[in-house]
Copies of this chain bind each other. A is one copy, B any other.
Amino acid sequence: MTTKAPWDDGRLCYGGDWNPEQWPPRVWREDVALMRAAGVNLVTVGVFAWSRLEPEPGRYTLDWLDDVLDLLHSAGIRAALATPTASPPPWFSLRHPDALPVTADGVRLTHGSRDTYCAAAPAYRDAARSIAGVLAARYAHHPALALWHVHNEYGTTCHCPHAEAAFRRWLTTRYGDLDALNDAWVTSFWSQHYSDWAQVGTPRATQYLANPGQLLDFRRFWSDTLLSAYTEQRDLLRAANPAVPVTTNSVLGDWVPVDHARWAREVDLVAIDHYPSTTDAGAEEQTALAADLARGWARHGAGRPVPWLLMESAPNQIHTAGRMHTKEPGRITRHSLAHVARGSAGVMFFQWRAPAGGAERFHSAVVSHAGADTRVFREATDLGAALGRLAGTAPGRVQSAVAVAYDAASGWALRHPGMPRDGLDHPGEVAAAHRALWHAGVTADVVPPGSPLDGARLLVLPALYLASDATADWVRRHVHGGGHLLVTWLSGVADEHARVRLGGYPGAYRDLLGVRVEEFHPLADDEQVSLTGGGTGRIWSETVHTDGAETVSAYAGGVLDGRPAVARHRVGDAYAWYVSTRPDDDTYRRLLTEAARLAGVTPTCPGAPAGVEAVRRHDSDGTLLYLLNHTDQPQRVPVTGLDLLTAATVDGSLTLEPGAVAVLREAAR
């Protein structure tokens, strides 16, 4: 018997990370039986198995993995087979101390955790290619193999001599000559002019504030360096069997030196790991945003659309600072189906079975320390069944006419020291705009600057700090093509090297917006400003001069009393809005609702009550409407169609129980 990859036959992927190397074969068999019971069809294996696969340099012990893959195959479960390069074995570190990472303070880290390598160290790259090659040679045609899963959550940096040399090479390629680098980094400030490439180093510990251009390029360098570590494995795996897709799983957040949009061009499937960081309703908002980010990368990243998949998620916990919160009953399913609603090719958990030891012994698992006679396992089984009922529903195209721009480098640049305020946070501002739209019932795409805006009636730039000329052109073309635009404070203030565009903020969009900002008035953490028309602003305010724009709302009170807070500029038939503060959530929601309305965008499901998330997908069969009731009350939604989860026909009105989800094949409207 052979099995197709789940997506090959219209099924949704379901499964998670499985670590048979931590358990005796008796447990493998128990696990596979449980997987079948839960409806699992795909598992990730081998992620951290290097020391088990190659216990000594060049000695390979693969028999166990043969058995594991055969066992999976015999059970009709496919494998996302990982290269184990995210955790070199102890022998590697002992043999290649120069490949251990070095911090900005010059501390050489040691083995003892995971990711203890410098991705710019030749010895590491050699070893990684070797073990990947061994796996490729052995398993590229194994019938259980559905996907290559390279590495795990690339995201480390290093300041060792290898890294420094590589950084210099990268800069040489980027800038060609030192004059260009000196210009980009504004080394005329503080006497930092470089007269020889040998003087250029990584941003190690220094006396006081570091150079922003250097900091920004260091992150870009690492994104590219890590990506090259990925692509060399990918090429080797692909060569062994071009039919097997290759990916790597990405961790989100701007703390990671990865430009996901750029990476998306190199994968056959965008895979994200998503763990909400808050226990309140923010967990659902974050879930929607993560899915929309992944979809944006998958759709626009590679020039060709690729699928995307939630590759890791926590079955029963939300990890917050200092605590692992146990998810409430039903929340696992809602988080999972929220991803599927927005296009995920399935649901994968980290992890299948909880280990008895190791650093993550208390991480979330489907089969917990208490075993399978547990609420979590039962919910996972129910979810497996629900996913089965959704088989055959193609991801289709999520209905959206609003695009929100997200840009990794803008996130990095706003974290630099010396900004007018600490805590500036591009992803946070993207989240705030996305959250406002989410509460307005409007589904948004989240897109990298420069990607095609087909179908977007309204483009939102939330603190999109950096604007290259190309980005500025992209925005201008959208507006001149009739698209609406909403730009918030700090967007377009700097160019791609984080150099301020002079002449009044936001240098890149002043003309388009019909405003000129003279001075920033960053607010203290506990400070807020009132706005005419109601509502408040936080974090930031500005002296805005209108120059063609009309004032929509003004500051009320304080030194900016009466001056524009929100303005809009008529450009052709469209509006270009400028928002100079961070509105409170309700005001932001009303503002974006109005901007969307003027752009001709209405909520996905206008009659859905607050707290009911609605996502509509178009496919060849028509439309599919996902409805998720995030409230603790029954909610009535005016819809008509067939609920695929319950096989019930809905005629005009559906009552969703607290926490329940429905997936409607809608009647033609």
Alpha-carbon distance A329/B521, docked complex (angstroms): 13
Q: Say if the beta carbon of A187 comes within 8 Å of chain B.
A: yes
List residues 147-183 of chain A with CB under 8 A from any CB of chain B: 156
Residues of B near A328 (CB, < 8 A) are 559
A361, B101: Cβ atoms closer than 8 Å: no
If A19-B188, A22-B188, A112-B210 are given as contacts, then 4 extra A-B residue pairs at C-beta distance below 8 Å, sorted by A number, are A93-B199, A111-B201, A212-B358, A323-B525
Q: Separation in Å of the A373 CB from the closest CB of chain B?
A: 8
List residues 356-372 of chain A with CB under 8 A from any CB of chain B: 356-363, 368-371
List residues 411-434 of chain A with CB under 8 A from any CB of chain B: 417-423
**The 8 residue pairs across chains A and B that have the minimum distance between CB atoms:** A189-B358, A186-B357, A209-B359, A90-B199, A51-B193, A87-B191, A113-B206, A322-B422
A356, B502: Cβ atoms closer than 8 Å: yes
Alpha-carbon distance A111/B502, docked complex (angstroms): 28
Q: Say if the beta carbon of A203 comes within 8 Å of chain B.
A: yes
**Contact (A322, B191) CB under 8 Å given A199-B111, A355-B186:** no
Q: Say if the beta carbon of A652 comes within 8 Å of chain B.
A: no
A214, B420: Cβ atoms closer than 8 Å: no
Q: Say if the beta carbon of A105 comes within 8 Å of chain B.
A: yes
Q: A191: which of B88, B203, B362, B525 is its contact (CB, 8 Å)?
A: B88
Residues of B near A358 (CB, < 8 A) are 186, 188-190, 192, 211-212
Q: Separation in Å of the A227 CB from the closest CB of chain B?
A: 19
**Contact (A497, B357) CB under 8 Å given A87-B191, A191-B51:** yes
A residues lining the B interface (CB < 8 Å): 19, 21-22, 48-52, 55-56, 84, 87-91, 93-94, 101, 103, 105-116, 156, 185-196, 198-201, 203-214, 279, 316, 320, 322-326, 328-329, 354-363, 368-371, 374-376, 417-423, 497-505, 516-525, 543, 559
Say whether chain A's binding surface is mostly helix, strand, loop, or mixed.
Answer: loop
Q: Separation in Å of the A500 CB from the closest CB of chain B?
A: 5
Q: A201: which of B112, B201, B423 is its contact (CB, 8 Å)?
A: B112
B48, A421: Cβ atoms closer than 8 Å: no
B190, A359: Cβ atoms closer than 8 Å: yes
Q: A55: which of B49, B156, B195, B210 is its contact (CB, 8 Å)?
A: B195
Alpha-carbon distance A93/B320, docked complex (angstroms): 43
Alpha-carbon distance A371/B510, docked complex (angstroms): 14
Q: A213: which of B211, B357, B360 is its contact (CB, 8 Å)?
A: B357
B106, A519: Cβ atoms closer than 8 Å: no
Residues of B near A375 (CB, < 8 A) are 518-519, 543
Q: Separation in Å of the A594 CB from the closest CB of chain B?
A: 29
B203, A112: Cβ atoms closer than 8 Å: yes
Copies of the protein in its oligomer:
3
B113, A190: Cβ atoms closer than 8 Å: yes
Alpha-carbon distance A357/B501, docked complex (angstroms): 10
Q: Tell me the nearest residue of chain B to A321, going by C-beta.
A: B422
B206, A417: Cβ atoms closer than 8 Å: no
B325, A522: Cβ atoms closer than 8 Å: yes
Q: Separation in Å of the A297 CB from the closest CB of chain B?
A: 25
Residues of B near A418 (CB, < 8 A) are 359-363
Q: Tell me the nearest residue of chain B to A112, going by C-beta.
A: B206
Can you name 5 A-B residue pairings with CB atoms under 8 Å?
A: A90-B192, A113-B207, A211-B359, A357-B498, A363-B418
Q: A500: which of B316, B361, B421 is its contact (CB, 8 Å)?
A: B361
Residues of B near A520 (CB, < 8 A) are 324, 326, 362
Alpha-carbon distance A362/B540, docked complex (angstroms): 15
Q: A205: which of B107, B194, B196, B497 is its contact (CB, 8 Å)?
A: B107
B518, A195: Cβ atoms closer than 8 Å: no
Q: Tell me the nearest residue of chain B to A525, going by C-beta.
A: B322
Q: A208: which of B114, B198, B324, B361 is its contact (CB, 8 Å)?
A: B114
Q: A110: which of B89, B201, B417 is its contact (CB, 8 Å)?
A: B201
B193, A52: Cβ atoms closer than 8 Å: yes
Residues of B near A422 (CB, < 8 A) are 322-323
Q: Separation in Å of the A273 CB from the closest CB of chain B?
A: 15
B519, A48: Cβ atoms closer than 8 Å: no
Alpha-carbon distance A504/B361, docked complex (angstroms): 14
Alpha-carbon distance A204/B108, docked complex (angstroms): 10
Alpha-carbon distance A376/B520, docked complex (angstroms): 12
Alpha-carbon distance A103/B207, docked complex (angstroms): 9
A205, B110: Cβ atoms closer than 8 Å: yes
Residues of B near A206 (CB, < 8 A) are 109-113, 116
Alpha-carbon distance A543/B423, docked complex (angstroms): 38
Q: A420: which of B205, B323, B374 is its contact (CB, 8 Å)?
A: B323
Q: A374: which of B198, B279, B518 is its contact (CB, 8 Å)?
A: B518
Q: Tell me the nearest residue of chain B to A94, going by C-beta.
A: B199
A109, B51: Cβ atoms closer than 8 Å: no
B519, A370: Cβ atoms closer than 8 Å: yes
Residues of B near A194 (CB, < 8 A) are 90
Q: A376: which of B186, B192, B519 is its contact (CB, 8 Å)?
A: B519
